Amino acid sequence: MPIYEYECTRCGRTEEALQKFSDRPLKTCKYCSGKLQKLMSQSTFHLKGTGWYATDYANKSGSSSPKRKDKKPDTGPESSKKPESKE
């Protein structure tokens, strides 16, 4: 739910209200019963940097380069042997 800011036109106090989009705006100040005016506040949510889209999702779909087919790794008993060193 968004937080809205209101300023009283009589006493100048500001107050915040956690409201649903469907809720009606506040009209009267709870301190002096003056008329409230809804304020336009700067958002505190910022997307900066290269972004998650460019780094995580942009190259996953629709790549035009053919995929490499690598050899399957050897899983047999011979592949686990280490080469013997000659001294």
Classified as helix, coil or strand, 4 is: strand
pLDDT category of residue 32 using cuts at 50, 70 and 90: very high
Alpha helix locations (H) across 1-86?
52
The pLDDT value given to residue 24: 94
Find, among 12, 14, 16, the residue nearest to 4 by Cα.
16
pTM, rounded to two decimals = 0.48
Residue scoring higher pLDDT (2 or 38): 38
Considering the domain boundaries, does residue 53 fall inside one? no
Residue 55 lies in a domain: no
In a domain, 14, yes or no: yes
Query: Total domain count for the chain?
Result: 1
Q: What is the residue-averaged pLDDT of the chain?
A: 75
Q: What percent of the chain has pLDDT over 90?
A: 40
Largest CA distance in the chain: 95
